[in-house]
Each structure stands twice: as structure tokens, then as C-alpha cells.
Structure 1
Amino acid sequence: MHPTTRLLLGASLTLALVMGVGRFLYTPLLPLMQREFGFGADIAGLIASANFAGYLAGSLLSSFTSHGKARLMAFRVGLFASVATTLLMGMSDELAGWLILRAISGAASAFAMISAAGMTAEALSRIDEEGRLAWVFGGVGSGIAVSGLIVHFGVDHLDASSLWLLVGAISAALMPIALALVGDRQLPRRDTIAKRIRRVARPLPFWPLFVNYTCEGLGYSVFATFIVALIKARPGIEALGDFVWIIVGLAGLPSCLIWMRLAERIGFSTALACAYVAQIVGVALPVLFEAPIAAVIAAILFGGTFLAITLLTLPLGRKGLGGRGFAVLTAGFGLGQMTGPLIAGWLVAGAADYSTPMLGSAGVLAFGLLALVYAIRTRQDAAPAS
């Protein structure tokens, strides 16, 4: 196997394990856990927020392990801890234990993801092939799809704890492959690389972009936490709930590649705005229309945009605030996604149903789109770069 392919495969597998499984397995298992353990939407939102809080903390701490042996150690410890906490979720039946495990899982996924993506991005940049990083983020979609399929076929035969253990065991079996393939590498340069004229990301005014990305964190997290629960709560289409989440994962697989190519043609800011429009429609569809086809289209639109929005946003803002833009944008996103499920859970535990916070999150995303449009309109450099 070519060294570049080995590194891309290892990093993609890492994101499948720590994000697709470690972070998002909770979504398809949530209705089953609620039924077995008898907790409401407020507790469900609290558990999700604990994971997102851990991710925020891990993202900020990762700035201290951004190079060399410290980063490699952060990757290995993060990957191991993510898989371990997935397994341990199947051995706990108390809220306190879940909150601790999900917080550790969030921090571990941040360490592993940022370290693996960082090592891969640096290795690719040295050979002028940064665009191939989009392959790595497709791993999140594959992890979502595969774990969703396991839950779908196992839900009639296993309880929630057993499914946590099963998926965790499969992750543990795959973990040595990722550990062996990911590391600081000097990749060989290809003899011939097709040259094409393409646009590059031009920075946007930072604070409107910060508002935009914080809204994305809040808006996307509500859909990502509660969409399966929403569909399974509707008479007549309950069986579609698991398939909706599988479709989200499948749509996420090629999304970063597609949006990156589009951004290189029409501009990163324009592509990002288009992605927001698609995501807003996707989040609102299952609320406005109860037909099964609406849920399927919503899953495609959401799965096809939520990873790509991150991939498109960071190049537009990473140079802001004297080079601290990446960390501050990540902090805003983390605060948003930590808050979203918490507020949504409180609403559903009160007088609202799942449709209310879902529609509210679409409104938050729309406000974020307005902030993005404002950033684009007020950008000083209006000349296209190629």
C-alpha cells in the first residue's frame, strides 16, 4: 500500500472510531436507552451535553500537544480512551457514570481527531496535496453508518448495554490498525500531479464568522442528538428512525470531497453559504412535513453538510486573531453544541415535543447564515484568488 494511502486510511479509521462511533453512537441508541432506563429528554440532553463539553475541553487542551512526540502520544491516548469509554458505557447503568464517561469520551475524541488530522494535514502539505485531507473526514460518515447498521439489526435481540459492548468490541479490534498507520510521516511526492486552476480560501472578518460557527455548533447538535428519537416518536414511521441515521452517515462519506471541489470552483465562502442553506432545509423538513420521504431527504441534506461546513469554515477563519482563529472558532462551536442538546432536552421535558427545538435550531442556523452573509459583504479583499 502506498504510504500516503496508509496514512489517509489510518486517519479516516481513527475518525470513524472516535467520532462516528465514540461521539455519535449515542444517537441511534438514545431511544432504546430511554425505554430501558426510563429517563426523559432533559436527561438525554444532559448526557449529550456532557460529551460536547468534554470535546470542548479536549479541543482547547490539544493546543498544548500540537507537535512531535506529545501530539503522537495525545493521538494514542485519545484513541484508546475513546474506545475504552464506548465499552464502559455498556457496563454502567447510572447517570453519574454516563456523564463521566461521555465527558471523557468527548475529550478523548478531540485529542485523537485533532492529532490525527493535524499529522495528516502537515504530511500532505509538504507534498502539496492538502486537498486529499477531505478523504479523512469521510471516516466520520462511515463510522456513523456502520454503527447505525449494527444498532438497527441488533436492537430486536440485544439491550442497549449489550450494543454498547458489541460496537465497543468491534472498535477495539480495529484500533490496532489505526495505531499502526497514523503517525508523523514524510510522504513521497508523486511524479505527476494534475494541475488545475482553483480558488483558495480568503479570510473573512473574524467575529461575524465566529457568530456563524457558534450557531452551527448549537443548530447541528440538536438534530444530531434527537433526530432518531423524533422519528421514532411518530406513529407509522417509527421503523424509519434507524435508517435515517444510517443515511446521515452514508451522505457524510463523500460530502467533504464534493464540497471541497465545489469550493475550489465557486469560492469557499459561496460554497459555505450554499451548505448552510441545504442544512437549514434539512433540519426544518422533518418538522414541517411528516411524510417518510421528508425524513429521508432531511438525512441526506444534513449528512451531506455537517462535516463539510467545518472543513470549509476553518480555512476562512484560522488566520484570524493573530493566528488564534482556529482555537477561538473551535471554542465557539464547542459552546454552541454543548448548549443545544441541553436547551432542547429541557424544552421537550416541558410542554414541547421534539419538533419545537428542531425548528428552533433551524432558526439558529438561519441566523448564523445571516452572520456569514454579513461577513462576506464586509470583507475588504473582494478580488478572487486563484
Structure 2
Amino acid sequence: MTMTRLRDVRLIPLVFGPLISFLAVLETTLDTSSFGAGATATRMSGVALGLGVVVAAWYPLAGTVIAAVCLPVGVVGFGAPGVGGAAMIGLIGVVGWAGWREPPRRSAVALCVAGVSFAWMSIAAGGTLWELFFVPAVLLPGWFMGLLARRSGERAVKLAELAAALDAEREANAQAAVAQERTRIAREVHDAVAHSVSVMTLQLGGLRRMLADRPVELEVVAGLEHLGRQTVEEMRGLVGILRERVDGERPAPAPSLARVGELIADVRAAGLEVTLNAPAEPPRLPPVLDLTAYRVLQEALTNVLRHAGQVPTVVTIGYTEQALTLEVRNEPGRPAADARSGGHELGGQASRRGGHGLVGMRERLTMVRGSLHAGPEPDGGFAVRARFPIPRIW
């Protein structure tokens, strides 16, 4: 039996009913002087009352009525001398159970039926006027205990609902604070960092025009200017992620696998021979997953340039309903030993674009519950394979 079944409150009457039947049989068997020839009828009434308690596990009102009717039927129909102590305890318990499990008006009906049954039994058994009022009055404490238990349960439910509402309000306040902080960060990035980089880029442009007769230096400065402009665009994309609009300007497009062609073009311009295998129209992905996949691909291509040089590289992007897969595989540009050592050194070296080699890629994949496999290939090349699970709700 599992713990869930053990916590089911219906176990109370399921255990209590057979126990009352057993006590009724035991009482009439051991106390023969009090019941005499009516012991059998009293025993049958007690057993029937226990069955009514069992029925009350599913139908509290009906079970209470069955248990209450058993006593006067036993006295009037079968000649029982009266009610036994076990039956009295059983009826008090089942009335309390009805008070707990049924609304007050319905449980009051059960109380009235049990009280009338006791009064009828007292009259049929030739009891005194005191017994006519006392015996039904004994049922009141049981009913009140049931009502108290019910109100306690309702109070616990209300407290749980209040706690849930407070948690929701706390979560909403936390989200509002996060949104406010994101707005502040976006403002700082846009007004301070992006402005400074833009000024530096403009100065590099002026320096480039002054170096028209010096081609070597001109190429270096032109590369720095291009990198500066690209950095400004990425900062604006970051601001666009933090908030949809900044000072009325439309944010630059965020990094996305939909723009993988631009990334491949930039890498090819740097001298890397890249072959792209990807669907012509990539599916729509969750924004965080899309951005993470783009950054991992960007980091992997940067590492090829840094550690393998300008070697032929194949980028493969695959989509299924369950996951997105990326593979960046380069042919050996150096001897196999150098490729392996260079690959293993990726984890401890910072790249130029916001990552730290394999460590940075793994950290990004951890945030989206992805997996990464990176290592040397048998032919001496190096491969990075990443898998990004796509949430089902997307």
C-alpha cells in the first residue's frame, strides 16, 4: 500500500466500522448477564451498525442513516434489550464523521436521524424520560467535533490559497524588479558603452583615411573599424533583448541562426573555407535557444581560426521536433598531435567573442539543458557537436 493510499481519510471509517462490529460481538459474548436472551439481536445490530460505518466512507450521510436505523430495528424487530456500549461509540463516531465530511446542513440531517432513532429505541425499550433526552444528547459532542475538524480543514485550505497568492505576488514583484534592472542595464549599455565604442570606431575611420598610402597598417585599422562596427551592432542587439525599444529607436536584429549566412560570410572573409549544410528555411526556435546556438556556432568557428588556422571546415545544422543539432568539423591543418593539443587547450583560453573556449560553450549549453561533445577526429581534425533540446510547449 502506497503512502498516498495511507493518507486517504476514508481509511478511518474503513477501519473504525469493522472494529465496532468486533467490539459489539465481544461485548455481547462476555457480558451475558446484561443482554440475556437478546444478546444475538444486539450483536446483529452492532454488526449492522459497523457495516453502516463502512458505507459512510463513501456516502457519509447514507452511512450514518443506516447505522442509526440499525439500533431501533434491533430493539423493535428482533427484541434486543437496548443499545450496547460498542454500538453507542460507533454511532457517535459516524455522526462526527458526517459532520466532518458533509456540509453543516447535511450533517445536521444525519444528527437528527440518529437522535430520533435513539429516542425511538428508548421508547420501544421502555426507557425513562431522562434516557429519552440524554441518549440523543450524547451525539452532540461527536457532531461538534466533526464540525471543528471540517472548519479546521477549510481554514487550512484558505491559508494554502493565501500562501499561494502571496507567492504569486512575490514572484510578480521579483519579475518587476528584474524588468526594472534589465531596463537600467539596457540604458547603461546604450548610453555609455555603445556610445564609447561608436566614438572609437569613428576615430578608427578617421585614422584609416589618414593611412591611405600605407596598405599594411590600413588593413589592420580597417579590420579594427569593422570589428568596432560589428560590436556596436551586437550591443544594440543585446539592448534589444533587454528591452524592445531604446529611446524610440528600433533595436538591431538579435543574433539568430536565421542570420547564420552573415556569420559564415564574415568567417569566410577572414580566410576560413567554410561549407554550410543547413535547411534553406530554419524553423522558428525559442529566443534563448536560438541565441545560444548562434553563440556556440560563432565560438566554434572562432576556435577553428585560432587553433587550426585557415583549414576547410564543414558546418552542419539539423532540426528535428525534439532537438537542434550543430556540428563544426575541420580538416587537419596541422599534424594530428598539434590539433589534439590545441583542441584540449580551448577550455582554458578566452576567445575574442564573449566565450572561453569549450568551457564557455558548455556553460551556454547547460543553461538550455543541452549537451556538447568536442574532441579530435581519427584523421587529425577536430569536431564540435552540440545538441539543443527543443521544449515541447514551443
Q: Same fold (TM over 0.5)?
A: no
Q: TM-score, normalised by structure 2?
A: 0.22
> Of the two, which has the highest radius of gyration?
2
Structure with higher RCO (Cα < 8 A, 6+ apart): 1
